[in-house]
Copies of this chain bind each other. A is one copy, B any other.
Amino acid sequence: MTNLNQLTKNEVFMAFASYTTILISKMMFMSMATAFYRVTRKVFANPEDCSQFGKGENAKKYLRTDDRVERVRRAHLNDLENIVPFIGIGLLYSLSDPDLSTALLHFRLFVGARIYHTIAYLTPLPQPNRGLAFFVGYGTTFSMAYRLLKNNLYL
């Protein structure tokens, strides 16, 4: 157990842990946003979810899609598609002994880009706000992946 304490003395890993926790909390917030719009707009995907609003045909009218709900769901899926790669690559990158300031730059850029991406998606802001946020995050993850493959390839 003692050696695990070494991990908490590794500053890059500590920073990775903090930024990842923030990112995942942000991603989990999307579930709440979806639930909020589903309840306030009465838009449901499952018959059992809207049974409180009436029986039979009366409840079925709430089984529909809604622009606002679909927008939050797309933002959530986009988070999954981009934050999951960051967590996987970032964990391996953190353990590959990178320079602390370089690592912090990557983590901060990514977290900033993804928070801005969510704001741009949900407001919505005109393009290219969301597109730029996407590409900054994408490039950051790719930059870590490139460093990993260049320095530590073992196939």
Are B4 and A46 touching (Cβ within 8 A)? no
Closest-by-CB residue of B relative to A32 is B138
In the complex this chain forms, how many copies of it are found? 3
Are A6 and B14 touching (Cβ within 8 A)? no
Are B4 and A7 touching (Cβ within 8 A)? yes
Interface residues of A, Cβ cutoff 8 Å to B: 1-11, 13-15, 17-22, 24-25, 27-28, 30-31, 45-49, 51-52, 71, 74, 76-77, 80-82, 84-85, 87-89, 91-92, 95-97, 121, 124-127, 130, 134, 138, 141-142, 145, 148-149, 152-155
Are A18 and B48 touching (Cβ within 8 A)? no
Are A92 and B11 touching (Cβ within 8 A)? no
Say what secondary structure dominates the interface of chain A: helix
